[in-house]
Structures are given as structure tokens and as C-alpha cells.
Structure 1
């Protein structure tokens, strides 16, 4: 995929943050393909998947529904947006400190793969800390 236009990248970031801050699971999932793959160091503790990888929207829906129930005051604050050839990285602040989440977008600009990296200073805390 070619490099995304800055306006497209900024719009994706704003919509993604807005969906999360609204705790609107369907709006959040609207950014992802049906066969999405998602990795996070918290998948094992929250979803019970030791590989740290979830596959498909149904798995994401279950994971994020549980996570949002555990964190009713969850809010993200966007710090920066980075763009690459078909990739977008959002650098934001959440309840665990700073996070960098990288998304691989398909031709329809839906997320096909995403991975989350958390500040090592806060990562060792319990999932709802």
C-alpha cells in the first residue's frame, strides 16, 4: 500500500481515539477487517490466549468488551501520529502510561493487523490498574 495522505492518517487517528473514548465497541470494530490479527502483551491475561495474538473481529469484540468493562473510566489522549507505507502508528497516553499502537491498513483503509506496545514502566501492573 502506498504512503497514506496526512489527512487520511489524521482522520483515522481522530476517529479511532473518539471511538475508544466513547467506549463504542461497534465504532471501534468498524476500523478493522473481519480477519484482523491483533497482538498485545495483555491478551494472555485478559483473553487467556497465551500467544498474545487474537484473530478475527469476534475475538476482538470479546476481548475489548471485557477490557472496557474492567476500565469504565478509560480515556486515551493522542500524543502523535506517525505514518509509513500502509502503516499508521498512534502514540497516545492511556491508563497504563504511554502506548504505541501500529496498524497495517488494507486497500480499503481498514486495519488488517495491529500490535500494541506499552511503556515498560507501567506494563507489569495488573490489567485494570
Structure 2
């Protein structure tokens, strides 16, 4: 899938809105069933050496746990960077004051299939 600037901005606004609403089903609707996320937060919360969580159901369980630990989670979008088959969301977690970049790769159906998260 070729990512356009318009698609990237619309996706970013919807993704941030869904996370800020803590609407996990809405967030997950943007991901393929077999997507993989690599995150230092997953490594810490799930005691995973490599921080890799594979598959939508495993990620659902991870995000449920994360939202339980951070009930006031709220993101502020800072920037969206566009690539050929993906995008990077750069945002601020207003609760912690930490910045995050999530590099997302999309499959041919327009769903996120791979994510790498980086934290400030």
C-alpha cells in the first residue's frame, strides 16, 4: 500500500482519538490479525526480553494490561512522518510527559502489520 500524506494525517488523528477514548476495539480495527509490535513497554509489562508481541489477540491482552496500569493515558500528536509503505507517529504522552515514535508498516489491505515503538 502506498501511503499518502492525506491518508497518514487521517490515520494519525483517528488512531490518537481511539487511544484517547481508550476504545481498544477501535484501535485494534487498524491492525491485521497477525501484526507484530516491538516495544520497550511490552518488554517491561510482560517481562519479555525482546519486547515482541505477536498477533492481535496477544496485543489486545498487552494493551488491556497497559490501560489498566495507566488509566489516565492521553496522547497529543506532535508529527506524522510518511514513508513508502508506512508512517511514523510522533506523539506526547501527556500523563508521563514522555515522547514516543511508533513506526508502522501497512499491508496491502491498508492495515498495520508491524510496529516498532521508541520512547524518549
Aligned to 1:98: 99
1:33 correspondence with 2:32: yes
**Counterparts of 1:27 and 1:98 in 2: how far apart (Å)?**
23
Q: Is structure 2 residue 41 aligned with structure 1 residue 42?
A: yes
Q: What TM-score, normalized to structure 1?
A: 0.88
Cα distance in 2 for residues equivalent to 1:56 and 1:93? 26
Segments of 5+ residues of structure 1 without an aligned counterpart are: 120-129
Residue range with higher mean Cα deviation, 17-26 or 42-51: 42-51
Please list the CA deviations of residues 23-60 of structure 1 after superposition, one character each: whole Å capped at 9, or x if unmatched.
01111111110000100012122122222100000110
Unaligned runs of 5+ in 2: none
Aligned residue in 2 for 1:65? 64
Cα deviation, residue 91, structure 1: 0.5
Where in structure 1 do 4 or more consecutive aligned residues deviate above 6 Å?
none
Counterparts of 1:85 and 1:102, CA distance in 2: 12
Task: Say if 2:116 is the partner of 1:118.
Answer: no
* Aligned length in residues: 118
